[in-house]
Chain A
Amino acid sequence: MREQLETLQQEAIGLVEQATTQKELNDVRIKYLGKKGPITEVLRGMGKLSAEERPVVGEIANSVRGAIQERLEARLEQVKEEEMAAKLASETIDVTLPGRIKRVGRPHLLQQVTDEMEDIFVGLGYTIAEGPEVEQDLFNFEMLNLPKDHPARDMQDSFYITDEILMRTHTSPVQARTMLAAKGAPIRVICPGKVYRRDEDDATHSHQFMQVEGLVVGEEISMADLKGTLEAFVKRMFGEAREIRLRPSFFPFTEPSVEVDVSCFKCGGKGCNICKQTGWIEILGGGMVHPHVLEMAGYDSTVMSGFAFGMGIERIAMLKHGVDDIRHFYTNDVRFSEQF
């Protein structure tokens, strides 16, 4: 009997080892451990055994069943893993094939620069003011201390629509409108927008371009505040290592007026082709708001003072990104726009 059981055990384990599918293993289970299997049969015939033999044979039979069961389960686990591995192997793909890239639109470079400036100045306590692009001569010139026959009007040739209405030549009329609307209260705004000049389009001129104007009015505003503000802006925009330099200049709506250079961000001031060997690049103009401009807008210029500055967004973008032709901004060639 013992021999019979041990032979069964060897037979069954041999079949388990040979099996390669779950089905084969199941067949082995049914054949040896099932209700009609030989071990059950042995146990069933126990009644014929003596009382001494019964527990001995019972123990052997149980151990044989246990051993087969254990092998079977271990092998089943193994086969499942093998089957899964085979299935996964059959699902293999070439992961180096191209992915399904979604088309992502890009913001215009001028927009990126404008957004950056807006964020810098919002951080400095400014908000954003806007005004019409088709403007009255009154706001574009007269309220900026440029009466009809002022010689400085030669500095900018304008697109007139009627004698009194023109395409604004700068964002400065927004200054005048903002001051009038503020009715004597302090102001801190920047005014980005499109402006128009009567220029033939070429690599450095565009009949339409963008400016950002800044205006601060308060009781204690001075040139020192202008200098510090522009320094803060330039360091954010072009890097902490940048310095600025103010040079005297003239604008009818500011007094004193300055032009502002930034130390060259390519060569750091040593001199290169970008800064024309000077180490400095002119980027903007500004000054203290002219008392006449304040008075015309309803401020008492003996109490309130202000500074203003303005710069061309294209110029900043061209300098910062090395763009060599202003027309690229308006042809919207994808070979250009995809670079930014």
Chain B
Amino acid sequence: MLVSKKWLNEFVDVSKLSGEELADLITKNGIEVEGVDVRDVELKNIVVGHVLSKEKHPEADKLNVTTVDIGEEEPVQIVCGAPNVDAGQHVIVARVGARLPGIKIKRAKLRGVVSEGMICSLEELGFEKKYIREDEQDGIHTFREPVTPGQDVLELLGLHDEVLELGLTPNRSDCLSMYGVAHEVAAILQTKPSFSPVSVNEEGEKTNVSVSLESEECPFYAAREITGVTIGESPAWLKNRLIANGIRPINNVVDVTNFVLLETGQPLHSFDAAKLGEKIVVRQAAEGERFVTLDEVERTLDPSMLVITDGVRPVALAGVMGGANTEVDQATTSIILESAYFAPASVRKTSRVLGLRSDSSARFEKGVDPNRVLLALDRAAGMIAELAGGRVLAGVAQAGSLNTEDRLIEASVSYINHRLGMELPGELMRELLERLGLGVELSGDALTVSIPSRRGDLTIPADLSEEVARLYGYDALESRLPAEASRGYLPKRNIQRRLVRRTLQGAGLSQAITYSLTSEERAMQFNEQQDLHAVKLAMPISEARSTLRTSIIPGLLEVAQHNIARQHADLAFYELGSVYLQRDASFEELPLEQEHIAGVMTGLQEQHRSQGVLIKTDFFVAKGIVETLARATGSSLTFEAAVRRSMHPGRTANVLKDGKVIGFVGQVHPVLSKEQYGLKEVYVFELEASAFSSDATVLYEGINRFPSTSRDLAIVLGRDVPASDVEQEIRQAAGPLLKHVELFDVYTGENVAADKKSFAFSLRYQDAERTLVDEEVTAAHTAVTDALVARFDAELRG
């Protein structure tokens, strides 16, 4: 909402405050002023000039030499390039020494002819083109009203003014009018606003217009008829007001409705009575009903929309925009003026569905003041009669009713104090609330406040606590911590996440945070669960951010791609975040949000070039990270070869905990990583975070004081036997004395057959209660070798 300080001054005396001072006060008390436009800040020394003569410039076709009376003893000579300049006009003259935005006017010679000033267009004074009459858009401005040479043009154009831009929150729609702003400012300045009484002279016969309401979305509708009007240009003062508040002048009738809208907050609409007829019916639109609005766009309506009709066809989209079929134009002589109350939700919905916002819908959808519906109608009818020269016919055509009574809020001094944490006296509260124009009855602790209909936002006692607080000043509020003690703690979930993060960071992976939304293809790229449904946005901004991820890996691959393109080849990232798994095909249930731990690694894992150390990231680096995480969090995992979607078929393992797959680790399929992400050899893992949290309390086992015995074991066995199977067999066969197994050598090559390999294990035996004797160890070890020979057809070496 733009507020002209000059206009506001008609209702509240703000003349002693600068625009900035006023803005600070308003902001401090609750409505943010987003800017102050000092309209004459760059303008000086600009006066009315009377063009006495015009001659062609001797040296230039497009220039004229004029003599202009600017109210001084002698006229001045001004060279002017505007095509529409002519003798007899009253024009805007920037005198020598004048300032215009970006220019200072000096005495000059133009192609040999002296020019003492400049005849100006409105654009040169800083007006936006949309506010300028069409015939003056390419030339100078001429005054049509009586003016005197030498008069201050800035005064005539209403430019000695400052315009405040209010950033209104949706609850303060009462300030979408000058009346509302006046009430607010008066409360801040501790004064009372004054509004001129509105009256209308009815002349002649009673209007024949009839109104009938066929929808509850319009509880009240009123209309007046004005005949004998002449459509024309509005007077300067009215145009100045509209322009200051950001509205383009059109003609005297439309300008009046817009003026009253700004003044009272009540949107009005004017129909050409000849086109409308005498019957007004308000109803819901029919399905598929077509209608051309004033902006000349054909709209297709539906039954949720409210329309004004002439009994047959729609003539306006209620509260949003009028129709082209009843538009006021130059030939119009009779007006039907509408003022109504339309249900906020209905206007809001229509406006949203059609994508059509107007100054009118912006007000109706937040609720207008029921007390101003008729007031605005009379105000506008009177002004039209005055400015367009018509007669307001007797009577108001109306239907329905509105509750215009004050609302009562029963509050108490103690409630407000309790909410604010203050001990303010009831008398002070009364004073603050009365400043807002509210009626206050204070009786002991009881505070009964009557709220005028213009303040639709005040409905419950808590609302009053805000009004008291903001006028009292938040700076003056006390400050303390809640008195009651509270047991604060970091939940286990967060502690466990911190452990996971610390472990992965210690292992060299940096944390990434990527978008949850990705493309439909990438959303499912690493997922194999058949029963999942992609969760897609109804109206995405782009396909690339249209679907919720079911895996973190695509996001991390994008991170790797981004960094590699910027010459960072050695990368390791992890992300801890949710994936979204929807199993309900009807999408009525919320998807399962499962927390995952994922990582991406590529390039060198470790490098110390000066010392010849270069360790490439490979499968075992990635697997080692997963194992490190398991060790740090006390989880026990197993791995088994797996063929998975989008992964390298020979370098991927499923990760299992308690026999259940909780994730995977491996190389991304090289074709996919190259083609989609520009990555050659990249390793990833993705794990369910819940597998790495444990509630168990660890109990101390004692430290084993007895020496252990190590025995090594080398076997040759089939090349495709997985190491994990062998290790499992060793553990099973050795029995409880075996404390540790380590595979320390793997060999394939010349010294073993082509389909064989050699494994060397180191086994450590120990007992908690005594030193083992050699025979016991030998017995266990023999059991191991026998078992391996039997199960894997292994051959013992050395």
Instruction: Looking at the assembled complex, report how far the CB atom of A189 sits from the nearest CB atom of chain B, in whole angstroms.
Output: 10
Chain A residue contacts of B172, Cβ below 8 A: 250
Q: Are A105 and B541 in contact (CB under 8 A)?
A: no
Tell me the complex Cα distance, A216–B580, Å: 30
**Taking A125-B485, A247-B32, A290-B462 as contacts, is the C-beta distance between A160 and B538 under 8 angstroms?**
yes
Q: Are A154 and B170 in contact (CB under 8 A)?
A: yes
Q: Choose among B32, B365, B481, B487 the residue that contacts A232 (Cβ–Cβ < 8 A).
A: B481
Q: Are B479 and A231 in contact (CB under 8 A)?
A: yes
Instruction: Looking at the assembled complex, report how far the CB atom of A328 sits from the nearest CB atom of chain B, in whole angstroms.
Output: 11
Q: Which of A14-22, A23-31, A75-83, A116-124 lies at the interface with chain B?
A: A116-124
The yes or no answer to A276 lying at the interface (CB within 8 A) is: no
- Considering the complex, which residues of chain B in the window 168-217 have a beta carbon less than 8 Å from any beta carbon of chain A? 169-173
Q: Are B466 and A256 in contact (CB under 8 A)?
A: yes
The yes or no answer to B723 lying at the interface (CB within 8 A) is: no
Shortest Cβ distance from B367 into A: residue: A151
**Taking A223-B421, A255-B463 as contacts, is the C-beta distance between A333 and B566 under 8 angstroms?**
yes
Instruction: Looking at the assembled complex, report how far the CB atom of B585 sits from the nearest CB atom of chain A, in whole angstroms.
Output: 12
Chain A residue contacts of B44, Cβ below 8 A: none
Q: Are B419 and A207 in contact (CB under 8 A)?
A: no
The yes or no answer to A136 lying at the interface (CB within 8 A) is: yes
Q: Which of A2-10, A34-42, A94-102 lies at the interface with chain B?
A: A94-102
The yes or no answer to A300 lying at the interface (CB within 8 A) is: no
Complex interface bits, B555-589 against A, C-beta within 8 A gives 1, otherwise 0:
00001001100101001111001101000000110
Shortest Cβ distance from A119 into B: residue: B490
Shortest Cβ distance from A256 into B: residue: B466
Q: Are A229 and B481 in contact (CB under 8 A)?
A: yes
Tell me the complex Cα distance, A250–B466, Å: 10
Q: Are B510 and A221 in contact (CB under 8 A)?
A: no
The number of A-B residue pairs with CB atoms under 8 Å apart is 256
Among A104, A227, A231, A252, residue most surrounded by chain B Cβ atoms (within 10 Å): A227
Chain B residue contacts of A218, Cβ below 8 A: 482, 484
The yes or no answer to B539 lying at the interface (CB within 8 A) is: yes
Q: Are A98 and B610 in contact (CB under 8 A)?
A: yes
Chain A residue contacts of B30, Cβ below 8 A: 247-249
Q: Are A159 and B511 in contact (CB under 8 A)?
A: no
Q: Which of B92-100, B468-476, B670-678 lies at the interface with chain A?
A: B468-476
Shortest Cβ distance from B417 into A: residue: A222
The yes or no answer to B775 lying at the interface (CB within 8 A) is: no
Q: Are A124 and B170 in contact (CB under 8 A)?
A: no
Q: Are A123 and B488 in contact (CB under 8 A)?
A: yes
The yes or no answer to B59 lying at the interface (CB within 8 A) is: no
Chain B residue contacts of A124, Cβ below 8 A: 481, 488
Q: Which of B7-15, B514-522, B634-642 lies at the interface with chain A?
A: B514-522
Q: Are A105 and B590 in contact (CB under 8 A)?
A: no
Tell me the complex Cα distance, A159–B461, Å: 35
Tell me the complex Cα distance, A136–B541, Å: 21
Q: State the interface size on chain A (CB cutoff 8 A).
A: 88
Q: Are A125 and B486 in contact (CB under 8 A)?
A: yes
Q: Which of B78-86, B125-133, B343-351, B747-755 lies at the interface with chain A?
A: B343-351
Q: Are A229 and B482 in contact (CB under 8 A)?
A: yes
Q: Are A250 and B170 in contact (CB under 8 A)?
A: yes
The dominant DSSP class at the B interface is mixed
Shortest Cβ distance from A98 into B: residue: B610
Q: State the interface size on chain B (CB cutoff 8 A).
A: 97
Q: Are B479 and A228 in contact (CB under 8 A)?
A: yes
Chain A residue contacts of B587, Cβ below 8 A: 161-162, 165
Chain A residue contacts of B462, Cβ below 8 A: 255-256, 288, 290-291
The yes or no answer to B531 lying at the interface (CB within 8 A) is: no
Q: Which of A61-69, A84-92, A127-135, A263-271 lies at the interface with chain B?
A: A127-135
Tell me the complex Cα distance, A247–B516, Å: 34
Q: Are A220 and B483 in contact (CB under 8 A)?
A: yes
The yes or no answer to A323 lying at the interface (CB within 8 A) is: no
The yes or no answer to A224 lying at the interface (CB within 8 A) is: yes
The yes or no answer to A246 lying at the interface (CB within 8 A) is: yes
Chain A residue contacts of B563, Cβ below 8 A: 332-334
Chain A residue contacts of B501, Cβ below 8 A: 107, 111
Among A198, A223, A246, A291, residue most surrounded by chain B Cβ atoms (within 10 Å): A223
Instruction: Looking at the assembled complex, report how far the CB atom of B613 sits from the nearest CB atom of chain A, in whole angstroms.
Output: 7
**Taking A100-B611, A124-B481 as contacts, is the C-beta distance between A105 and B535 under 8 angstroms?**
no
Chain A residue contacts of B632, Cβ below 8 A: none
The yes or no answer to B418 lying at the interface (CB within 8 A) is: yes
Chain B residue contacts of A247, Cβ below 8 A: 27-28, 30, 32, 474
The yes or no answer to B593 lying at the interface (CB within 8 A) is: yes
The yes or no answer to B780 lying at the interface (CB within 8 A) is: no
Tell me the complex Cα distance, A151–B368, Å: 13
Q: Are B507 and A105 in contact (CB under 8 A)?
A: yes
Q: Are B513 and A110 in contact (CB under 8 A)?
A: yes
Chain A residue contacts of B593, Cβ below 8 A: 132-134
**Taking A121-B488, A207-B541 as contacts, is the C-beta distance between A135 and B590 under 8 angstroms?**
yes
- Considering the complex, which residues of chain B in the window 440-489 have a beta carbon less than 8 Å from any beta carbon of chain A? 460-463, 465-466, 469-470, 474-475, 477-489
Tell me the complex Cα distance, A97–B611, Å: 9
The yes or no answer to A242 lying at the interface (CB within 8 A) is: no
Q: Choose among A101, A152, A225, A330 the residue that contacts B421 (Cβ–Cβ < 8 A).
A: A225
Instruction: Looking at the assembled complex, report how far the CB atom of A254 sits from the nearest CB atom of chain B, in whole angstroms.
Output: 9
Closest 7 CB pairs of A and B: A224-B421, A222-B421, A256-B466, A250-B169, A125-B486, A248-B30, A103-B508
18 A-B pairs whose Cβ atoms sit less than 8 Å apart in the complex: A97-B611, A102-B606, A105-B507, A107-B505, A125-B486, A127-B490, A149-B348, A152-B170, A160-B538, A198-B539, A216-B482, A223-B421, A229-B482, A246-B475, A247-B32, A248-B29, A248-B474, A255-B465
Contacts A104-B508, A207-B517, A330-B515 supplied; 6 other A-B pairs, CB < 8 Å = A108-B511, A123-B488, A152-B169, A159-B517, A220-B484, A256-B470
B residues engaging A (CB < 8 A)?
Answer: 27-32, 169-173, 344-345, 348-349, 365-366, 418-422, 460-463, 465-466, 469-470, 474-475, 477-491, 493-494, 498, 501, 504-517, 535-541, 545, 548, 559, 562-563, 566, 568, 571-574, 577-578, 580, 587-588, 590-591, 593, 605-606, 608, 610-611, 613
A residues engaging B (CB < 8 A)?
Answer: 97-98, 100-108, 110-111, 115, 118-119, 121-128, 130, 132-136, 149-152, 154-155, 159-162, 164-165, 167, 186, 188, 194, 196, 198, 200, 207-208, 216, 218, 220-225, 227-229, 231-232, 245-250, 252, 255-258, 288, 290-292, 305, 329-335, 337
